[in-house]
Amino acid sequence: MKCLERAPVFWLTGLSGSGKTTLAKKVAEELKKIGYKVEVLDGDWVRKTINPDAGFTKEERSLHLRRVAWIARLLARNGVIVLASFVSPYRDVRQMIREIIEEEVPFYEIYVKCSVEECIRRDPKGLYKKALRGEIKHFTGISDPYEPPESPDLVVDTEKESVEESAEKLLKFVLSEVERDAENMPRAG
C-alpha cells in the first residue's frame, strides 16, 4: 500500500450523463491496483446515504456540495485520493468548494465535457426525458443552467474520446499530480 501524507482531491464536473462517475470508478480501480488508497464520492451515492434531504435549487445544491467538500477534504488530508463526481453546475459554488479543500490539500477541477444533446441521447437514467416533460424541476442543462469551468485543470471530452481514452487521460493526470504533490510535501523531522 502506498501511503500518502496527504492526497489531492480531483473534482469531476459536467452534465448528468457526461461520464463523470464512469471515469472516476475506472481511474479509482487502476489507482487501487497500483496500491493507493482512493475514494469515489458520487452524487447519487451521497444523496442516498449522507445527504438524503438535499434538493436541487441553487441554494440546496450549494449546501449539499459544501458538505461534500468537507468530506473530501477530511479524506484527502488523511492520505486518501478523492475522485468527486458531481454535476456541480455553478462556477461560484465550485470556487467555494476549491477554497474549502485548498486550505489543507490540493484541489483539481476536471471538466467532463459533453454536449447536452449527447447527454440527452445517452440518458442512462431516463432523467432527461422526465426533465423535458417537466417532471423534474431544476434539472441542469434543461431548466437550470450549467456553467462550464473557465480554466479547468484538465478537460476530458467524452463526446469525442472513448471511455478508455478519457480514463487513460484522467489516470495519467491524477498520477502526475499525486507524484508531484508527494515530492513537494515537507518532510517530517
In three state form, how does the secondary structure of 144-174 look?
ECCCCCCCCCEEEECCCCCHHHHHHHHHHHH
Q: What is the pLDDT averaged over residues 45-49?
A: 85
Choice between 43 and 14, residue whose per-residue pLDDT is larger: 14
Least confident of 32-36, 89-93, 180-184: 180-184
Q: Write down the residue that cell numbers 441542469 correspond to.
A: 140
Residue 187 pLDDT exceeds 60: no
Catalytic residues: 88
Q: pLDDT at position 37, please?
A: 96
Could you report the per-residue pLDDT of 108-166, keeping only the tens digit for each? 999 999 999 999 999 888 889 988 898 988 889 898 999 999 999 999 999 999 999 99
Indicate the domain borders of the chain.
9-180
DSSP category for residue 85: E
Between CA 72 and CA 83 the distance in angstroms is: 9
Task: Categorize the per-residue pLDDT at 189 as very low, low, confident or very high, splitting at 50, 70 and 90.
Answer: very low
Res 188 pLDDT > 70:
no
Count other Cβ atoms within 10 Å, centred on residue 61: 22
Asked if pLDDT for residue 184 goes beyond 90, the answer is no
Average pLDDT over residues 90-95: 96
Q: Which pLDDT value is given to residue 54?
A: 82
Question: Is residue 186 predicted with pLDDT exceeding 70?
Answer: no
Element (H, E) at 40: strand 38-42
Whole-angstrom distance, CA of residue 115 vs CA of residue 120? 9
Q: How far apart are CA 102 and CA 96, in angstroms?
A: 10
Q: What percent of the chain has pLDDT over 70?
A: 97
Q: Is the pLDDT of residue 105 over 50?
A: yes
Residue 183, pLDDT > 90, answer no
What is the CATH topology of the domain spanning 9-180?
Answer: Rossmann fold (3.40.50)
How far separated are the first and last CA of the chain, in Å rounded?
23
Predicted local distance difference test score (pLDDT) of residue 185: 64
Q: Is-contact 12 155, C-beta < 8 A?
A: no
